[in-house]
Amino acid sequence: MNHIKQSFGFVVILVLAFGPPLVNAQSEEELVGIPAKAQEVCAACHGLDGNKSMTPDTPKIGGQASDYLAEALEQYKNGMRNHPIMGAMAAGLTSQDIQELSNYFASQTSQLFSKY
């Protein structure tokens, strides 16, 4: 099962990398300043602002704490956190990518809040 999930993650990353751009509703101007990988990789599942989860098990990341997002991406990358798709996505990110992406999504409007 794990094997299937892994190869599935691989297919997803191939399509995201080489397929047509999945985000095309925005005009060029609106995309200025948004990290390229946020548009090309993250947006397909999390939405361009991190608030539009494509499936119910995809977390909202818009406005989430940036250092938490960075930690999560580092863990996906080094295998401490296991997820077939996120593992494949994070594998291609440099430390600088991770910083940029975390800061970008953390700075978006948020539906998340600290709940007691």
Partner 1 sequence: MIQEKGKILDMKLQKVLSVLVILLLFGVESMHAVAQDGNAEAGAQKNAMCQGCHGIPGFRTAYPTVYTVPKLGGQNALYLANALRAYKSGGRTHPGMRAIASALSDQDIADLAAYYSENKKIIVSTEKGTE
**Minimum CB–partner distance for residue 30 and partner 1 (Å):** 22
**x/- binding map, residues 66-85, to partner 1, per CB under 8 A?**
xxx-xx---x----xxx---
3 near partner 1, judged by CB under 8 A: no
Q: Which helix (H) or strand (E) holds 14?
A: helix 2-18
Say if CB 93 and CB 101 are below 8 A apart: yes
User: What is the b/e burial string over 4-31, where b = at least 16 CB atoms within 10 angstroms of the residue's CB?
Assistant: eeeeebeebbeebeeeeebeeeeeeeee
6 near partner 1, judged by CB under 8 A: no
96 near partner 1, judged by CB under 8 A: no
Q: Considering only the stretches 9-17, 23-31, 35-43, 93-101, report the one whose residues sit in contact with partner 1 under the rule CB under 8 A.
A: 9-17
* Rounded-to-integer distance, Cα 68 and Cα 105, Å: 11
CB atoms within 10 A of CB 81: 15
**Minimum CB–partner distance for residue 16 and partner 1 (Å):** 9
Binding footprint of partner 1 on the chain (CB under 8 A): 5, 8, 11-12, 15, 19-20, 53, 55-60, 63-68, 70-71, 75, 80-82, 106-107, 110-116
